[in-house]
A and B are shown apart, each in its own frame.
Chain A
Amino acid sequence: MSGENEQDEPNGSGYRRGLDGPAPEERPTPDGRRNEQGIRIDPEVEAKQAPRRTVISTLVEHEPGVLSDVSGLFSRRQFNIESLTVGPTTDDDRARITLVVEEPDPGIDQIKKQLRKLIPVISVRELESDAMRRELALVKIDADRPAEVAAVTDMYDGKTVDSCPETATIEITGSRQKIDAAIETFEQFGIREIDRTGTTALARGTQSTAAPASTTESTAEAASHPQNQYAPADDD
């Protein structure tokens, strides 16, 4: 019952297998083309989008599993995430997750949409570039040169939170860039350990961070004019 298929070579049996019709090279092809994002290419503007860094603030149900839902989404869809912070809000049932991501616009658009699809996610907002952003870092350094350490700490509005003959631990608060700069400066003393919280952020003034972003974020706009949609975000 078996072993009848001796002709192991491709197309071993006699006749040509396949369907009839003009071969590929005899078929006309349309002129147009699409780019990586599936956008029809206007020969003038073949926009290849550069990634940008932005802050996305989400309000979520304070329940088990939400954090893994959110972080799982990022790994599963290969979104680039720089930091994620989570903490309670004024409402015991809700937590805020603040995400710093770096993606081209279509990726940022997808992140927001995919986050909104998670059932425990209540609201998602990409913060404007003027939003307040703060991060806290603890930097443990060698304390061989206490006077210089104190000067640098002062320069970055830092606070010494612990010190012993060998080490000093400094707390720095501020924008990501400020902390980067402080750490770079502290390097001269020899850094033993660092812990950073990642960015926390709130919208400015009377705006609610959980409210849908004030600027038009209708799918229509976002889809048709991704380039016009977002001002480049620079940290404060």
Chain B
Amino acid sequence: MSERATSIPPEEQHDDQDAESHADGDDTTAGAPSADAPVTGDGTQPEPVTTGAESVVRALENAGVEHAFGVQGGAIMPVYDALYDSEITHVTMAHEQGASHAADAYGIVSGEPGVCLATSGPGATNLVTGIADADMDSDPMLALTGQVPTDFVGNDAFQETDTTGVMTPVTKDNTFAADPDRVGTDVSEAFALAREGRPGPTLVDLPKDVTNAETDREPDEPATPDTYEVTEEADPTIVASAAERIGNATRPIMLLGGGVIKGEASEACRKFAIKHEIPVVTTMPGIGSFPEDHELSMEMAGMHGTGYANMAITHCDTMIAVGTRFDDRLTGGIETFAPDAEIIHIDIDPAEISKNIHADYPLVGDADTVVSQLARAVETSPQATKWRAQCQQWKSDYSMAYDVPEDEPIQPEFVVEALDEATSDRAVVTTGVGQHQMWACQYWTYTEPRTWVSSHGLGTMGYGLPAAIGARLAADDDQEVVCIDGDGSFLMTLQGLSVAVRENLDITVAVLNNEYIGMVRQWQDAFFEGRHSASDYGWMPEFDKLAEAFGANGFRIDEYDEVADTIEAALAEDGPSVIDVHIDPQANVYPMVPSGGDNGQFALAEDQL
């Protein structure tokens, strides 16, 4: 039945991957006849596949996958066995959650789906957080999970979980692979789906009998199913009326979301904004889509956005929103969100149009394509000299400048700025979730897409370190990878240090250590009369020593005058470094729009809440 079977020239002998030891198999059913034949690299014809597992790995190779992150286990062993002969570099993680975050970050930085693997049962459930995170942030990711053999499914077999059932609400699509002849194509298709249209995580659940089974069926090339349709170009009549609206605007802004970066539309948006001199606000996932050092940049808006971004959003009369889903952390209360503005909403996902905020000009299509359509259609730039002056005025009125009282503990803003200064423009920043994440948004000046890697929609503490591992492998060698972490967040996934050390990954973790679940402590001070219920750690391990115990480089900062030198020393190390930065435990994140509040009424200090 396989028409695609190819005849293979006698293969050249090639260097085997020199991985340490072959995992001990506990399973010998349906063994692959030619399992130890070497697979050739660099362009020569690869060996034909002989098992379902080999076709899974072949599908990954065909898709150009270079790295995968995961943890071994019974049900996924056949796939790992096939990986053993592949050129794909597998990074064994310390925890499957880390594998999912690493794959997510890999996808953000590279633009191609990051791949993670786990065994059935607990392996699969440990992936859930990272998959849900990728789903919320529309990050391209492919997860492959082992499953108990098909005959055992439904019998509560050892390490059986209804993985597709668990994953359905948090994946873009998932498949239970039931057919060895089709399993490779299932993986190809899942890879394509993760990447095409609005990206997202996909999953293929791989029962062990299916991966062990014999098949000579090569996977199809990665392609989305026929029923999957993506609109590339927006309706030209709406483009024309939106263009006219832009021409007539007097208080225009562009609001750039994560879709700008995923849709590779940063350049088109940049050109458009600069040509028509339109101030630019970003969402949190949109950070990096427009250079924050540009005069037109108003930086990030929303709950902890800059005051000037929130003023611009509130007072604009025309908003060109690109690739954003108008999350509540961005909009605050809907009644007060851009109340005067006509909204031009560009998004590849029709379901985002008028989901949270009504779109007056709905433009469904690929961000880059539609912004270019719009660029061609706009004939006159908005007359907005006064508005731009107003925006500049807000920038000085609500400056983000902060005090550095010498006799006080270190202010976190200072540390973020020092890290930014010590690194290149293309340095990649990852974070945990909490106050430190907000300071990392506010005080680092981002100028390039794909340099900001964070957990936005799900807000997952513990994202930072595994994300740094994934980002490191996706980034260029000359890009530094810095994880700005919180003490609480770091504690959640710091076992990943073992991976960073083993793989000698050049990453720098700066833990902004306030010995608090700081963001919660800030809310308790503001909204719960300062009752610090379960937010005061009171004690934290010494992270520098902990790092050393893992074999990483450990540093500690307590005083202002140590900041610059220690950061420099940590960055100079080749492998992973951890800087335990003891910051002011009482430092708070401002400005702040309380949940559901009016963006224009942001508080600059606690007494304004």
Contacts and interface: CB of A to CB of B under 8 A. Distances in A.
Interface of A: 1-5, 7-13, 15-24, 27, 29-40, 61, 64-65, 68-69, 72, 76, 106, 109-110, 113-114, 116-122, 218-220, 222-224
A19 B399 contact: yes
B538 interface: yes
A21 B606 contact: no
Contacts of B174: 65
Given A19-B402, A21-B307, A220-B238, A5 B586 contact: yes
Contacts of B335: 33-35
B248 interface: no
Interface-centre pick from B238, B585, B586 (highest chain A CB count, 10 A): B586
B236 to A, nearest CB: 11
A117 B351 contact: yes
Interface-centre pick from A20, A121, A224 (highest chain B CB count, 10 A): A20
Given A16-B605, A19-B399, A220-B238, 7 more contacts: A1-B540, A4-B585, A5-B516, A10-B526, A10-B606, A24-B600, A219-B353
Contacts of B585: 4-5
A23 B337 contact: no
A76 B169 contact: yes
B193 interface: yes
A220 B400 CA distance: 40
Contact of A29 (B238, B314, B356): B314
Given A21-B397, A34-B337, A218-B235, A3 B354 contact: no
Interface in B509-547: 515-516, 525-526, 530, 532, 536, 538-540, 542
B193 to A, nearest CB: 7
Contacts of A16: 605, 607
Contact of A38 (B235, B350, B357, B600): B357
Given A34-B334, A116-B350, A17 B587 contact: yes
A2 B586 contact: no
Contacts of A8: 530, 532
B490 interface: no
Interface string B194-229: 000000000000000000000000000000010110
A24 B606 CA distance: 12
B104 interface: no
A29 B598 contact: yes
Interface residues of B, number: 79
Contact of B340 (A13, A30, A35, A109): A30
Instruction: Classify the interface of chain B: helix, strand, loop or mixed.
Output: loop
Nearest to A35: B335
13 contacts: A15-B405, A17-B588, A18-B604, A23-B604, A29-B601, A33-B336, A34-B338, A36-B334, A38-B337, A38-B354, A119-B193, A222-B354, A224-B362
A119 B530 contact: no
Contacts of B403: 15
Contacts of B408: 13, 15
A68 B353 contact: no
A168 to B, nearest CB: 39
A119 B225 CA distance: 8
Contacts of A40: 339-342, 358, 360
Contacts of B598: 29
Nearest to A37: B358
A40 B402 CA distance: 37
B402 A220 contact: no
Nearest to A2: B539
Interface of B: 164-165, 168-169, 172-174, 176, 193, 225, 227-228, 235, 237-238, 307, 311, 314-315, 326, 334-342, 349-351, 353-360, 362, 364, 397-403, 405, 408, 515-516, 525-526, 530, 532, 536, 538-540, 542, 584-588, 590-591, 598, 600-608
A236 B351 CA distance: 31
Instruction: Classify the interface of chain A: helix, strand, loop or mixed.
Output: loop
Given A13-B408, A218-B235, A119 B362 contact: no
A1 B539 CA distance: 8
A23 B168 CA distance: 46
B143 to A, nearest CB: 15
A114 B398 CA distance: 40
A65 B163 CA distance: 12
Nearest to A12: B586
B336 A219 contact: no
B326 to A, nearest CB: 8
Contact of A65 (B168, B360, B540): B168
A8 B530 CA distance: 8
B244 to A, nearest CB: 15
Nearest to B556: A1
Interface-centre pick from A4, A21, A68, A120 (highest chain B CB count, 10 A): A21
Nearest to B524: A10
A203 B18 CA distance: 64
Given A8-B532, A30-B315, A30-B600, A119 B168 contact: no
Nearest to B224: A119
B399 A223 contact: no
B515 A5 contact: yes
Contact of B590 (A19, A33, A72, A113): A19
A109 B600 contact: no
Given A10-B606, A65-B164, A68-B165, A119 B315 contact: no
Contacts of B542: 1
Contacts of A117: 349, 351
Interface-centre pick from A5, A29, A35 (highest chain B CB count, 10 A): A5
B597 to A, nearest CB: 10
Contacts of B169: 72, 76
Contacts of A27: 311, 600-601
A38 B345 CA distance: 13
A223 B525 contact: no
Contact of B351 (A15, A33, A76, A113): A113
A72 B167 CA distance: 11
Contacts of A69: 168
Contacts of B339: 30-34, 40
A17 B354 contact: no
A36 B335 CA distance: 7
Contacts of B606: 10-11, 17-18
Contacts of A17: 586-588, 590, 605-606
Contacts of A38: 326, 334, 337, 354, 356-358
Contacts of A36: 334
A3 B169 CA distance: 43
A11 B525 contact: yes
Contacts of B364: 219
